[in-house]
A and B are shown apart, each in its own frame.
Chain A
Amino acid sequence: MRRMGNLRSSPAQEASGADRRLLERVIEGDSAALRTIYDRCSPRAFGVSLRILGARPDAEEVLQETFLEVWKRAREYNPDRGSVEGWVVTIARSRSIDRLRSRGAAAQLSAADPSSSMSMGTPAPLEVAERRQNSERVAAALKELPPEQRRVLELAYFEGLSQSEIATRLGDPLGTVKTRVRLGMEKLAGLLAEPEGAR
């Protein structure tokens, strides 16, 4: 598995050179570099945690745990598996699901209210525009999935349910859920891999 140690020849990496340099600085113990990653990635990571946990105090705790983990595990980042932001968000999602399971409170799921957010710092418009472009791209790709595939992916991603749990929740056979997960993910990967404007 490719790690931070040999990034140069990575064929599939999505992370920019700047991202890699930042993580290298984090590995060296530079907290200013972590702050830069935080400024860039925390809104999405916090958004995912808030969507999963529903409660701001819990999402704030998870945000701390997430960046503490980035600080400790920067060496483990694998650019073949996505951008730095994707990695940070994946950590935030995992910690959120852990917390959700530990409190056994699926009932506490509720839509987060982004309007109640507080602003800190001014992100660079180029990055904001690119983030928005990515969001629109993923949203457009998800819209192209059949609703039943989209539903299982959302249950898996935001509620952390296993395929068996999804089958129970939806009352569908396990085999059907497994097929939907695979087909949905494959289609999503294909749509996201298409060049801009190909759809």
Chain B
Amino acid sequence: MRCSEFKEGAWAYALGVLEPNERAELDRHLAEPIAHEGCRAELDRAFRTTAAMGEMAPAVQPPADAWGKIEARIAREGRANVLPMRRRSWVPFAAAFAAAAAAAFVFVLAKAWTYRNALIEKNEQLSRLSGVVAEREACRQELESMRQSSELQRAALALLELPETRLVPMTGRQPSRGNALLNIEQRKAMVLITALAPAVGKDYELWVIRKGSAPVAAGILKPGRDGKVIAEVKPELLQAGRPDIFAVTVEPPGGSPAPTTDPFLIGEVNPG
């Protein structure tokens, strides 16, 4: 078999439609110690294409108890790929006793040292109390931000569920990417963006653009620590009908009334 023949057959191989003898022939060719002309790469490409074909079927949530059954089977059947736990080394009794005695001695010394330091620590605690208050406030703000993020997630999922919601891919400067969810009938739009670098000394600003009109500022995007951000576009910005473009630019802190840099993420809304 020549490499060109293998590459022709690679598609059927990955799709699993070959007869056993045909498959074996391709396996033999792939195992041949020759300078292949991209055979493996073509087979990988065929496998990637086959894997993507799963998207033809609708995603269906499994029953709620499905994971529990899987967990139970894992516990029951174990696994082959986990290395066995290293066997605990045997320690002779005498050595263990000596180790325990040494540990006890160290423990007593440490206890005395700790007691001495406790007095110093007390004073330090007093000065830290003011810091604790600030920390508490930061924690409260973090929780509040998580609550808002959770509400936005629910709103985004609800918007996604609506059949008339359109998905507008936003692409541009890697690795940032995202989607705008647009439901013009209900005057709702949200953007979901991922892999945004932390905004230090700058802000990310979202724009709603209609051809022939100036970009309209739609808010500052504050990415979380994970680089993700979900934001809702104010309904009044959609009153004028379907936008043509959603864009994100980098602006000075607080944002700008008009973009001052080129967009690094753009999502064009297809007409229709």
* A186 sits at the interface (CB 8 A): yes
The DSSP consensus for interface residues of chain A is: helix
B18 shortest CB reach to chain A, Å: 7
In the bound assembly, the distance between CA atoms of A195 and B15 in angstroms comes to 24
B179 within 8 A of A: yes
Known: A29-B82, A81-B48. A44 touches B59 (CB 8 A): yes
**In the complex, are the beta carbons of B62 and A162 less than 8 A apart?**
no
Q: Are A126 and B51 in contact (CB under 8 A)?
A: no
With an 8 A cutoff between CB atoms, is B61 at the interface? yes
In chain B, positions 59-78 with a C-beta closer than 8 Å to chain A are: 59-64, 66-67, 69-71, 73-74, 77
Closest beta carbon of chain A to B160's beta carbon, Å: 6
How many chain A residues touch B (CB < 8 A): the figure is: 90
Interface contact B52-A133, CB-CB below 8 Å: no
Tell me the smallest distance from the CB of B56 to a CB of chain A, in Å.
6
Do B48 and A86 touch (CB < 8 A)?
Answer: yes
Whether B157 contacts A118 by the Cβ 8 Å rule is no
A27 partner residues in chain B, CB cutoff 8 A = 81-82
- Cross-chain contact B17 with A14 (CB below 8 angstroms): no
Q: In the complex, are the beta carbons of A134 and B153 less than 8 A apart?
A: no
A156 B51 Cβ-Cβ under 8 A: no
CA distance A58 to B118 in the complex (A): 65
Q: Does B167 contact A129, Cβ atoms closer than 8 Å?
A: yes
Residues in A4-40 with C-beta less than 8 Å from chain B? 12, 14, 27-29, 31, 34-35, 38
Q: Quick check: A31 and B11 within 8 Å, CB to CB?
A: no
Task: List, in ascending order, chain B residues with CB within 8 A of A189's CB.
Answer: 45-46, 48-49
When distances are taken between beta carbons in the complex, the residues of chain A under 8 Å from B66 are: 42, 46, 60, 63-64, 120
Interface residue? B128 (CB, 8 A): no
Shortest beta-carbon distance from B246 to chain A in Å: 13
Contacts of A81 in B (CB 8 A): 44, 47-48, 51
> Can you add 13 more A-B contacts, CB < 8 Å, to A43-B59, A43-B62?
A12-B41, A35-B71, A43-B61, A72-B80, A80-B48, A81-B48, A87-B51, A114-B60, A117-B62, A122-B157, A123-B157, A189-B46, A192-B49
Nearest 8 A/B pairs, CB to CB = A86-B51, A82-B51, A89-B54, A125-B156, A43-B59, A138-B55, A81-B47, A185-B11
What are 23 inter-chain pairs, A to B, with CB distance below 8 A?
A12-B48, A34-B74, A38-B67, A42-B61, A43-B61, A47-B57, A63-B66, A64-B69, A73-B81, A81-B48, A82-B52, A94-B16, A123-B157, A126-B194, A126-B228, A130-B179, A131-B59, A134-B52, A162-B17, A178-B12, A185-B12, A186-B11, A196-B171
